Amino acid sequence: MTEPADARPPRRSIPAAVLGTRDERLKESQPPRAGRIAAYVLFFLLGFAVSVCGAFVQALWPPVGVLLALAATGATFYAGLRITGTRLGAAAPAAGWFLALLLLMVPRPEGDNVLWTNATSLSWLFVGSILGVICATLPTRTSWFPGVPGPPR
């Protein structure tokens, strides 16, 4: 016996299938405090590493390299948010990312630069910054203050 066509579950949009809905994200349990602190440190270091690698990748393969660097940057920020369940989880890799960028923007005494003022470097900096802000403002399982667990749901 076959089921009627209306018995199928409704189709989900691609973003909802990949990222989950807001209600699904809010229902997830939060990791313990020690696990979150360790994740903050690891995501800070991962954000630093993604920034250093992205600076070279975006310059090595001009149009495609920027997209690869932005994909890695956005994935790192979003993973920090989802794994820790706090906005601070997205802000920690963003802080590491920005710290590495500050170090890479300073010219060396020999006159060498890692990041130049060309379209690919500037677009990577601008869009990467926007990705960090977007991920840090997505709904989480915590209260309004970043990193502080909210009341139990």
Q: What pLDDT is recorded for position 80?
A: 93
Tell whether the model's pLDDT for residue 122 goes beyond 80: yes
Mean of pLDDT values over 111-127:
85
Q: What pLDDT is recorded for position 2?
A: 60
Q: What pLDDT is recorded for position 3?
A: 58
3-class secondary structure, 11: coil
With cut-offs at 50, 70 and 90, classify the pLDDT of residue 1. low
Q: What pLDDT is recorded for position 111?
A: 74
CB atoms within 10 A of CB 120: 17
Summarised one tens digit per residue, pLDDT across range 50-98 is 999 999 999 888 889 999 999 999 999 999 988 888 888 999 999 999 9
Q: What pLDDT is recorded for position 12?
A: 76
Q: CA 48, CA 41: separation in Å to the nearest integer?
A: 11
Mean pLDDT of the chain: 83
pTM of the model: 0.77
136's CB contacts (< 8 A; 6+ apart) are 77, 81, 87, 90, 91, 94, 146
Residue whose pair of structure tokens reads 């189709």 in the numeric block: 11
Residue whose pair of structure tokens reads 């020999």 in the numeric block: 110
One-letter identity of residue 58: Q
With cut-offs at 50, 70 and 90, classify the pLDDT of residue 139. confident
Query: Quick check: 58 and 65 in contact, CB under 8 A?
Result: yes
